[in-house]
């Protein structure tokens, strides 16, 4: 793997990147404290609406399900993570903050909001482990130790790893810890379509919680901003945003599964398992790459998928996949702006792709008032949904 050169965003000590010596022994990463954050901004933040005026009655859900506002006024609400004490952590992409949201009386509506950090560089990804909050910026991973005990006075973060590329094109990251205890971090392609000389691009990587032993787990992944592990088999499943500029209906976005390290999912040579790229596909048969587990809609922008493992929803939802589709930006007729359900059979195969919730898009007027981003299952089995356009987090419940 080639090393990516980039501008350091830490003013102070540098991180010692994991390496292997001649004896093959791993060298542990040195943890350094962040002294200052530099955060260039070039994305437009979307509107934050009054939660009392949100047309929740427009949301279509299966019979017995209800949707309400869990938290409002969270600018650009993106990835979600749950702390051991019930704190909901919220990342940003267009904005520069990480939030903490607390429902003190457990009534399904947040009572307190805290800003954990500001001035960060697209801190989209958040993950929680052993009392610590991990935050992914464009080129580095930060850790806020013992965060739930210090929500009102957050500690300075430590740098866990800072050797990712600095490209902001597909540079925002979704992160989570896998069943193997490692932190999984995708690195998007720095373009719409290109064949980079640097191995790190268009991959999903993983590392130890201390930042050591970073390695590429999956290749040929244009831009994944959501993944989860099957609750029974521990197999990684991930969404992938397909390339643009091949027309309204090509290619489909993808849901992929990676049961082992080293699999290649086709980008930039082949899309959706069967569509050779007109620029890079020559001499690269699609049969050489791993086909999607399920092709999704074209340009729907699938993001933070989750397996539902709770007991609140009906049994038909158990261990099935829910995928927020953020919605298209470059299609003549908009598509997405919904949550889809993918059913997985006992053999681990995706067998259907259907709508679970929609209504954020007025199809007749082609205007969207909300854009679902990420999912988080609460201990009671209810489901949180972030919306970076409306600036809220919804809560979906089932009453039977």
Per-residue pLDDT of the chain (400 residues; tens, 9 = 90+): 322 222 222 322 223 333 333 333 333 444 444 444 333 333 334 455 577 789 999 999 999 999 999 999 999 999 999 999 999 999 999 999 999 999 999 999 999 999 999 999 999 999 999 999 999 999 999 999 999 999 999 999 999 999 999 999 999 999 999 999 999 999 999 999 999 999 999 999 999 999 999 999 999 999 999 999 999 999 999 999 999 999 999 999 999 999 999 999 999 999 999 999 999 999 999 999 999 999 999 999 999 999 999 999 999 999 999 999 999 999 999 999 999 999 999 999 999 999 999 999 999 999 999 999 999 999 999 999 999 999 999 999 999 8
Q: How far apart are CA 188 and CA 86, in angstroms?
A: 31
Which two structure tokens, joined as six digits, stand for 224? 């994944």
> Using an 8 Å Cβ cutoff, are 202 and 187 in contact?
yes
Distance CA 218, CA 47 (A): 35
Domain assignment present for residue 274? The answer is yes
C-alpha 369/C-alpha 337 separation (Å) is 9
Question: In the 8-state DSSP scheme, what is residue 187?
Answer: E
Output the CA torsion sign for 115, 120, 125, 130: negative
**264: exposed, middle or buried (Cβ count in 10 Å: 0-12, 13-18, 19+):** middle
63 within some domain? no
In angstroms, the CA 287 to CA 77 distance is 39
165 part of a folded domain: yes
What is the bridge-based pairing of β-strands 270-271 and 275-276? antiparallel
CB atoms within 10 A of CB 161: 26
Q: Look up residue 32 and give its two tokens.
A: 């350094």
Residue among 257, 344, 240 nearest 297 (CA): 240
> What pLDDT shows up at residue 99?
98
Q: Does 361 reside within a domain?
A: yes
* CB-CB contact of 136 with 173 (8 Å): yes
Nearest to 154 by CA among 175, 132, 170, 137: 132
Asked if 68 and 250 touch (Cβ cutoff 8 Å), the reply is: no
Residue 50 lies in a domain: no
| Domain that residue 81 falls in | 69-398
pTM beyond 0.85 = yes
- Flag whether 286 is in a domain: yes
Tell me, what's the pLDDT at 137? Answer: 98
| CATH code, 357 | 2.120.10.30
Based on the structure, what is the number of domains in the chain? 1
Domain assignment present for 58: no
Distance CA(360)–CA(20), nearest Å, equals 50
pLDDT at 53: 84
Q: Is 30 a member of any domain?
A: no
pLDDT at 49: 58
What's the confidence (pLDDT) of residue 7? Answer: 26
Say if CB 12 and CB 33 are below 8 A apart. Answer: yes
């Amino acid at each position: 793997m080639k090393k990516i050169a980039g501008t350091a965003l830490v003013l102070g000590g540098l991180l010692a990147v994991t390496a292997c010596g001649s004896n093959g022994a791993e060298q542990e990463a040195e943890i350094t404290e962040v002294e200052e954050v530099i955060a260039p901004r070039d994305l437009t933040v979307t509107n934050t609406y009054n939660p009392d005026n949100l047309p929740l009655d427009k949301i279509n859900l299966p019979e017995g399900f209800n949707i309400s506002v869990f938290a409002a006024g969270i600018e650009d609400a993106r990835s979600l993570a749950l702390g051991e004490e019930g704190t909901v952590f919220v990342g940003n992409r267009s904005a520069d903050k990480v939030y903490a949201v607390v429902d003190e009386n457990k009534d399904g509506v947040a009572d307190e909001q805290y800003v954990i950090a500001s001035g960060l560089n697209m801190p989209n990804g958040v993950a929680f482990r052993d009392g610590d909050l991990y935050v992914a910026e464009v080129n580095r991973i930060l850790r806020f130790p013992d965060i739930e005990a210090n929500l009102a006075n957050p500690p300075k973060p430590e740098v866990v790893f800072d050797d990712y590329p600095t490209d902001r094109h597909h540079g925002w990251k979704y992160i989570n810890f896998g069943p193997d205890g490692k932190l999984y971090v995708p690195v998007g392609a720095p373009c719409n379509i290109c064949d980079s000389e640097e191995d790190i691009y268009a991959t999903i990587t993983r590392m130890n919680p201390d930042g050591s032993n970073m390695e590429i787990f999956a290749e040929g992944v244009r831009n994944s901003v959501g993944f989860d592990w099957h609750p029974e088999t521990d197999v990684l499943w991930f969404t992938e945003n397909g390339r643009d500029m091949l027309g309204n209906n090509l290619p489909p976005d993808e849901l992929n599964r990676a049961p082992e390290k080293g699999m290649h999912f086709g980008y930039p040579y082949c899309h959706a398992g069967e569509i050779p790229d007109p620029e890079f596909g020559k001499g690269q048969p699609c049969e050489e790459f791993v086909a999607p587990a399920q092709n999704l809609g074209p340009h729907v922008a699938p993001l933070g998928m989750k397996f539902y493992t709770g007991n609140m929803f009906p049994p038909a939802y158990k261990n099935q996949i829910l995928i927020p589709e953020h919605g298209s930006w470059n299609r003549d007729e908009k598509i997405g702006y919904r949550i889809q359900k993918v059913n997985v059979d006992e053999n681990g195969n995706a067998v259907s792709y259907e709508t679970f919730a929609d209504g954020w898009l007025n199809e007749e007027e082609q205007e969207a008032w909300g854009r679902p981003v990420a999912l988080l299952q609460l201990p009671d089995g209810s489901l949180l949904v972030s919306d970076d356009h409306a600036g809220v987090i919804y809560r979906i419940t089932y009453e039977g």
